[in-house]
Structure 1
Amino acid sequence: MISYFIEDVSFKFKGKLSCSSWIKEIINNLDFNKSGLKTGDINIIFCSDDYLLKLNNQYLKHNHYTDVITFDSSDNKRINGDIFISVDSVKNNSNEFKCEFIDELHRVIIHGVLHLLGFNDSNEEQRVQMRDREDVALKMRRS
C-alpha cells in the first residue's frame, strides 16, 4: 500500500491514485526490480526543508538541505519504506531546472522509490544510472 502524509508544510497532493499506480508499475517492472519483490508499505511524506534537514542531521549525520531522504525497511518479500520529500526543495529545483513543479515532484518521488529498489547515487557513475532510470520512469508515467 502506498500512503501519503503531510508534515510541517502546507501542501495538497493531487493525483495520489495515478501516482500510486505509476509507482506500482515501476516496482513491478523487472528492468527496475531485478529481485522481483512486491509492493509493500511505502509512505511518502511531504515536508519542509527544515523538517528534512533535522532528519538528515539526526539519521545520516549530514548538515545540509536535500530534496529527498529514503528509509528502506524492505524485507525479503516486499518493498517497504518511508520517502521524505521537501516540498520547498522541489519548488526550488523546478525553478532552477525550469520544469513544471509536478514533473520535479514525480522525479523526486521516483528517486526515492529507486533507492528502495536498490539503486544508489553515491558516485558519479551511480548518479548517471539513477538519472537514466528516473528518465525512463518519467516517460512511463506519461504513457
Structure 2
Amino acid sequence: MAITFQAENIDFPKIKKRTTTKWIKSIADKYGKQIGDICYLFCTDEKILEVNKQFLNHDFYTDIITFDYSEKNKIAGDIFISLDTVLSNSQKYQTPYDEELHRVIIHGILHLCGLKDKSEDEIKEMRKAEEEALSMLDF
C-alpha cells in the first residue's frame, strides 16, 4: 500500500513527498481509515478537462477529480489535480500557492474518508476539515 505522486506534461510541484505522505496518513488516521493505494496525478487544465468529459460527462475545468476505490476502512483512489487551476485559484482567493495546493491534496483524501461537498452544510464541513488538516502541516 502506497501513496504515489506523478506529473503528466507539467512540472512536478515543489512538495515534500515524505512530509506530505505522513500528513495524509495522519489525516486518514483521524477519520479511522487506513491507507491503501493512492495515486496523485498532477496535470494541466486540458488533461483534467479530458478526464472530466471522459469519465464524468462534465464539460468544465476543475481543480481536482477523485476516483474512489476504497473498501471498508482502507482508502484508495486516483486523484487528478490540475496545477493550472490550483494556481488560478490561489490568485483568485489570494492564498499562497503552496497552501492552495495542499488544500486540494487533502481535499481528495477527505473525499476518500467519506466527506462530501454537494450541499451547503457539506461544503462548510469540508472547508472546516481542510482548515484543520492544513493547520497540522508545516509548509
Q: TM-score, normalised by structure 1?
A: 0.91
- Which of 98, 106, 110 matches 1:110? 106
2 CA distance for matches of 1:42 and 1:113? 9
Partner of 1:6: 7
Aligned-residue identity in percent:
43
Contact 2:4 2:38 in 1 (8 A): yes
Aligned residues: CA RMSD: 1.4
2 CA distance for matches of 1:14 and 1:77? 27
2 CA distance for matches of 1:89 and 1:12? 13
Seen in structure 2, the aligned counterparts of structure 1 residues 55 and 14 have a Cα distance that, compared at 3 Å, is same
**How many equivalent residue pairs?**
138
Partner of 2:22: 21
Matched residue of 1:23: which SS?
helix
Shift of 1:100: 1.1
2 CA distance for matches of 1:93 and 1:8? 20
User: Structure 1 residue 92 and structure 2 residue 88: aligned?
Assistant: yes
Q: TM-score, normalised by structure 2?
A: 0.94
Matched residue of 2:66: which SS?
strand
Matched residue of 2:58: which SS?
coil
Q: Which runs of 4+ in 1 moved over 2 A?
A: 10-14
Matched residue of 2:70: which SS?
coil
- Structure 2: where are the runs of 5+ without partners? none
